[in-house]
Structure 1
Amino acid sequence: MIENSLTGVWNGTIFVQSMPLMLLAHFFLNGDEIAGYLDIPMQNLSKIRIDIFEMKNQRIIFNATTIKLSFNGIEKNSKLNGIISRQFIDFPIEFEKIKNKTEYAVNRPQTPKRPFNYVDEQVVIRNNKANLILSEKFTYPKSQQPIASVVLCLGAGALDRDEEAFNHKPFMVIADFLTNNNIAVLRYDERGVRNSTGDFSSATDTDFADDAIAAIEYLKKRKETKNSHLRIIGHSNGTMKAMIASNNSKLVEFIVLLGSVGVNPGDVLYEQIKGILIAQNVSENILKINTDSLLRTIEIIKKEKDNRIVRQQVEEYFKDKIASVSDKDKKDFQNNMETSLLTLDDLTSPWFRSAFRFEPFDVLSKTKIPVLGIWGMKDLNAAPSQNLNPTRVALETAKNENFKLITFDGLNHLFQKSKTGLPNEYGLLEETFSTEVLHVINDWIHEINSYSKVNSTYDFLKFIFSKIFNFFLNLF
Structure 2
Amino acid sequence: MATMTTTATELVLALSEGEKVAGLHGDIRVPLSAVRDVDVVRNPVTEVRGLRAPGLAIPGRTKIGTWRRPGGKAFVVARRGTPAVRVTLEGADYAELMVGDDDAAALAGRVRAAAGLPEPAVEQRVTFASGELTLGGTLALPPAGATGAGPYPVALVVTGSGPLDRDANHKSMRIGTSRDLAHALARAGVASFRYDKRGVGESQGSFLAAGLSDNIDDARAALAWLRTRPEVDPAQVFVIGHSEGAVVTTALAAEPSADLAGVVLLAGMAKTGEETLSWQTRQIAGDLPAPVRLVLRVLRTDLVAKQAEAVTKIKATTTDVAWIQGRKTNARWTREFIAFDPAPHLRALRTPVLAVTGANDVQVDPDDLEAIAALVDGDVTTVRMPGLSHLLRREEEGNGGLRTYKQQVRKPTDPEVLTLVTDWITSRLPER
Q: Structure 1 length normalisation: TM-score?
A: 0.62
After superposition, the C-alpha distances for 1:182-209 in whole angstroms (9 at most, x for unaligned) are 1000011111112211222211122111
Q: How does 1:153-192 map to 2 (within 5 A)?
A: 153-165=158-170, 166-192=173-199
Unaligned 5+ residue runs, structure 2?
1-20, 26-49, 75-89, 98-104, 110-118
Alignment partner, residue 33 of structure 2: none
CA distance in 1, matches of 2:163, 2:182: 19
Tell me: CA distance 1:105–1:425, structure 2 relative to 1, closer, same or farther (3 Å).
farther
Q: How many residues are matched?
A: 335
After superposition, the C-alpha distances for 1:81-133 in whole angstroms (9 at most, x for unaligned) are xxxxxxxxxxxxxxxxxxxx98997359xxx9944444211111112xx2111
Tell me: CA distance 1:103–1:183, structure 2 relative to 1, closer, same or farther (3 Å).
closer
Say whether the 8 Å CA contact 1:146–1:228 is kept in structure 2. no
Say whether the 8 Å CA contact 2:120–2:183 is kept in structure 1. no
Tell me: CA distance 1:103–1:356, structure 2 relative to 1, closer, same or farther (3 Å).
farther
CA distance in 1, matches of 2:318, 2:198: 25
CA distance in 1, matches of 2:155, 2:281: 32
Say whether the 8 Å CA contact 2:133–2:205 is kept in structure 1. yes
1:442 aligns with 2:415: no
1:218 aligns with 2:225: yes
Shift of 1:32: 6.9
Matched letter for residue 123 of structure 2: D
After superposition, the C-alpha distances for 1:302-334 in whole angstroms (9 at most, x for unaligned) are 3x24469x98xxxxxxxxxxxxxxxxxxxxxxx
CA distance in 1, matches of 2:230, 2:384: 37
Tell me: CA distance 1:139–1:278, structure 2 relative to 1, closer, same or farther (3 Å).
same
CA distance in 1, matches of 2:213, 2:426: 29
Alignment partner, residue 38 of structure 2: none
Alignment partner, residue 255 of structure 1: 263
Alignment partner, residue 393 of structure 2: 416
Alignment partner, residue 381 of structure 2: 404
Shift of 1:405: 0.9
Shift of 1:216: 1.4
Q: How does 1:11-410 map to 2 (within 5 A)?
A: 25-31=51-57, 106=95, 114-115=108-109, 116-127=119-130, 130-141=131-142, 142=144, 143-145=148-150, 147-165=152-170, 166-248=173-255, 249-280=257-288, 281=290, 282=293, 285=297, 289-302=302-315, 304-306=316-318, 341-343=325-327, 345-346=328-329, 349-385=331-367, 387-395=368-376, 400-410=377-387
Tell me: CA distance 1:39–1:436, structure 2 relative to 1, closer, same or farther (3 Å).
same
Matched letter for residue 393 of structure 1: A
Matched letter for residue 360 of structure 2: K
CA distance in 1, matches of 2:346, 2:286: 31
Shift of 1:384: 0.4
SS of the residue 1:126 aligns to? strand
Unaligned 5+ residue runs, structure 1?
9-23, 48-100, 312-339, 455-476
CA distance in 1, matches of 2:234, 2:353: 21
Alignment partner, residue 412 of structure 2: 432
Matched letter for residue 189 of structure 2: N
SS of the residue 1:155 aligns to? coil
After superposition, the C-alpha distances for 1:446-476 in whole angstroms (9 at most, x for unaligned) are 12224xx89xxxxxxxxxxxxxxxxxxxxxx
After superposition, the C-alpha distances for 1:33-75 in whole angstroms (9 at most, x for unaligned) are 899988578xxxx99xxxxxxxxxxxxxxxxxxxxxxxxxxxx
SS of the residue 1:178 aligns to? helix
Tell me: CA distance 1:118–1:104, structure 2 relative to 1, closer, same or farther (3 Å).
closer
Report which of the two structures shows the higher radius of gyration computed on alpha carbons: 1
Shift of 1:293: 2.3
Q: Structure 2 length normalisation: TM-score?
A: 0.68
CA distance in 1, matches of 2:140, 2:54: 34
1 or 2, which has the higher helix percentage?
1
Q: Percent identity?
A: 22
